[in-house]
Amino acid sequence: SPYDDNVPPFSAAIGSKTFGALVPGFGLHPQLDKADFEHQALRFRTYYYRTYELVPVSVDAHAFVDYRGRIYQDHHLSELFVNDIKAYSEGKKRSGLSVGIALPKRFDQMFGEGGANLKVSGYRRISFSGRSQWTDGVTSPNIRQSKFPSLNMEQVSRFDITGTIGSKITVSVSQDSQTDIPLANRIQLRYHGDEDDILQTIEAGNTNLSLPNTRFVGYSSRIQGLFGLKAEAQLGNLRLTSILSQEKGSSERASITASGEESARYIRDYQYAEGRIFDLGYPGEFNPNDSVRQLYIYKQDIRESDSSIVHRFYVDSANEPGAKLLHSLQVPQDQYQWLDDPTTNQHYVVFNSTQRDALGIWMEVARYDDNFNLLRVDTIGSQASDTFNLRLIRAETQDYFPSHKTWNLMWRNCYSIPRGASVEDLNLKIFKGLPGREGAPEVLDYQESGGATQKYITILGLDQYNDGTGRKVPDNVLDERREVFRPDWGLIIFPSRTPFDTTRTFTDADGKQTQRLLVRVPTIYNFTSPSQKSQNSQYYIQLSSRSRSSSIRLNRANII
């Protein structure tokens, strides 16, 4: 009769792949010895050192065939997946458009060997919107109403061009229509000659000038932000640098008195600090006492540099059809911090600077009950292989719209202020006024309802306490509470996630309730095109800074 099955089944029929032999010669070599048709069984003999024999093992033939089929399928699926990742990582599935042009041989001496190879990557989005506005039942001989919508076209583009022309010329172009930093848009052509050439380098576009320490000039300096043409040449021990460039700037005015400096800065309601704070989970995924133990963040590298690694970014599950393989770089941990707030059950990450590209996270979360007893430790994402599975907290720019699930993870209730500022320096106020009317005498910083007036700074929750007495009674001054005032982050944070589209009210120590915001602006949080935000803006924040010190902060960047 057949031998009894071994445990686990079929292990004798397949050599061990999980645990390697301690001695190379100690390899298990199972061989089919006999097929028992009466009992529908297969008997295997296993040898080691190709001489000694283990106890023969018998298995059910049908079950064994099914098992081998599953093993074969799993092995080949895994192999196909690994090969696909390798092909993508090695550039066989490249994104963008690559253009290669062969150059005539006579240009080799000028440009070096090789043709022109340029890679173009990016996107361009054009959106159209329309708005009709009329008043029914109103006629006028001087004004003719039309129900035909006023059309608006919004164009957003972002692209990069990198490559070489021959072996001596490199090309680098970067353009983003949404950037607020002029120097972020760059165009650079660089020629690098051979070691024995008189003409060493030529740079066109964005460049810089370094002045070394010399016998007659006792210091060295480096001037950046130039746009023009620079050339360097060497003839023996003589080095020559010539530059033809321009610096661009804009003028701004601020009043400075003997006691310090005072100036006003206006921030429209739609100009919240994007990409600074993100929730680490969706509503209901965290309990108040939960704690994030470890957090690693990766951001998309749209330039696909050599140092980037392809990882999988997903929304809900790594196996979902919409998961994407993106080139990404790890964000240094000194560039962000994460916080757990058990009072509000908020678990979020704060970045030192604005994040404009896709973000994925891997984290460990310790789950606690109401008595702070540890229940378990959950892992979000996976780092089990070379290709990590990372959960998205911000989608790619071309997909990042209010309809995307990750849209509400980003906080849109925080606004930028100077880092290290004090409440007295800011003198923050909130006004209701249309774009272009900032500082006009007719705009008001209060709302009138039911015969009573109340400051917008109080209605929106930035003023709930009297900083002089500590009582929860508004005093029309920004509260110096960490919940709303974070000079270390350079932010003020409204209590409501959509402060200018909220019905939330606040109650003081005397039981008095604040007014509700009468005019709400939902379009600045949910829109189909960025232009809708500015077109529907109703409010602005005024920061009137004043400094009483010998060191005056200009609060201006790129001063020429």
Q: What is the CA radius of gyration of the chain?
A: 33
Mean pLDDT of 221-233: 74
pLDDT confidence of residue 139: 59
Average the pLDDT over each of 171-175, 304-308, 403-407 and give the range with the smallest value.
Answer: 171-175
Residue 436: count of CB within 10 angstroms of its CB:
6
pLDDT confidence of residue 79: 79
CA distance 54 to 60: 19
pLDDT confidence of residue 114: 72
Average the pLDDT over each of 151-165, 245-259, 334-348 and give the range with the smallest value.
Answer: 245-259
**Residue 16 confidence (pLDDT) above 60:** no
Of 87, 89, 39, whose CA–CA distance to 64 is shortest? 39
Angle at 6 between CA 5 and CA 10, to 5 degrees: 90
Phi/psi for 72 (5° steps) reads -60, -45
Mean pLDDT of 489-494: 96
Phi/psi for 32 (5° steps) reads -70, 125
Residue carrying the six token digits 């980003």: 410
Of 428, 442, 422, whose CA–CA distance to 488 is shortest? 422
Average the pLDDT over each of 182-191, 345-354, 385-394, 430-439 and give the range with the smallest value.
Answer: 182-191
pLDDT confidence of residue 545: 67
pLDDT band at 318 (very low <50, low <70, confident <90, very high): confident
Task: Give, as one character, the DSSP assignment of residue 28.
Answer: -
Sign of the dihedral defined by the CA atoms of residues 422, 424, 425, 431, in that order: positive
**Residue 310 confidence (pLDDT) above 70:** yes
pLDDT confidence of residue 235: 82
Say whether 457 sits in a helix, a strand or coil: helix
pLDDT confidence of residue 379: 94
Mean pLDDT of 71-80: 78
pLDDT confidence of residue 4: 43
Angle at 491 between CA 486 and CA 497, to 5 degrees: 105
Mean pLDDT of 75-102: 68
Share of the chain above pLDDT 90, in %: 40
Q: 486 exposed, middle or buried (CB, 10 Å; 0-12, 13-18, 19+)?
A: middle
Average per-residue pLDDT in the chain? 81
Question: Any residues with CB less than 8 A from the CB of 180 and at least 6 apart, and which?
Answer: none
Q: What type of residue sits at position 472?
A: K
CA distance 533 to 518: 19
pLDDT confidence of residue 90: 60
pLDDT band at 548 (very low <50, low <70, confident <90, very high): low
Secondary structure (H, E, C), 147-185: CCCEEEEEEEEEEEEEEEECCCEEEEEEEECCCCCHHHC
**Interval 344-379: pLDDT, tens:** 999 999 999 999 999 999 999 999 999 999 999 999
Termini Cα distance of the chain: 95
CA distance 220 to 426: 38
pLDDT confidence of residue 188: 78
pLDDT band at 308 (very low <50, low <70, confident <90, very high): very high
User: 8 preceded by cis ω (within 30°)?
Assistant: yes
**Residue 142 confidence (pLDDT) above 60:** no
CA distance 549 to 560: 24
Please give the residue that has the higher pLDDT: either 233 or 494: 494
Look at strands 150-165 and 116-131 and give their pairing: antiparallel
Beta bridge partners of 242: 231
Contact yes or no for 173/157 (Cβ under 8 A): no
Phi/psi for 531 (5° steps) reads -65, -25
Contact yes or no for 503/451 (Cβ under 8 A): no
pLDDT confidence of residue 19: 46
pLDDT band at 245 (very low <50, low <70, confident <90, very high): confident
Contact yes or no for 34/56 (Cβ under 8 A): no
CA distance 422 to 101: 59
Q: b/e string for 109-122 if b means 16 or more Cβ within 10 A?
A: eebbeeebebbebb
Instruction: Give the range with max mean pLDDT: 200-214, 232-246, 297-311.
Output: 297-311
pLDDT band at 163 (very low <50, low <70, confident <90, very high): confident
CA distance 525 to 270: 8
Of 90, 34, 85, 26, whose CA–CA distance to 58 is shortest? 34
**Residue 541 confidence (pLDDT) above 70:** yes
Please give the residue that has the higher pLDDT: either 481 or 39: 481
Phi/psi for 508 (5° steps) reads -90, -175
Please give the residue that has the higher pLDDT: either 173 or 520: 520
Sign of the dihedral defined by the CA atoms of residues 60, 63, 65, 67, in that order: negative
Contact yes or no for 271/499 (Cβ under 8 A): no
pLDDT confidence of residue 3: 42
pLDDT confidence of residue 447: 95
Tokens of 137: 């039942």
Beta bridge partners of 338: 349
Of 517, 306, 326, whose CA–CA distance to 432 is shortest? 517
Sign of the dihedral defined by the CA atoms of residues 348, 349, 350, 351, in that order: negative
Please give the residue that has the higher pLDDT: either 140 or 307: 307
Share of the chain above pLDDT 70, in %: 79
CA distance 193 to 85: 38
Rounded to whole angstroms, what are the CA distances from 65 to 6, 13, 42, 69, 203?
A: 16, 11, 10, 6, 68
pLDDT confidence of residue 120: 82
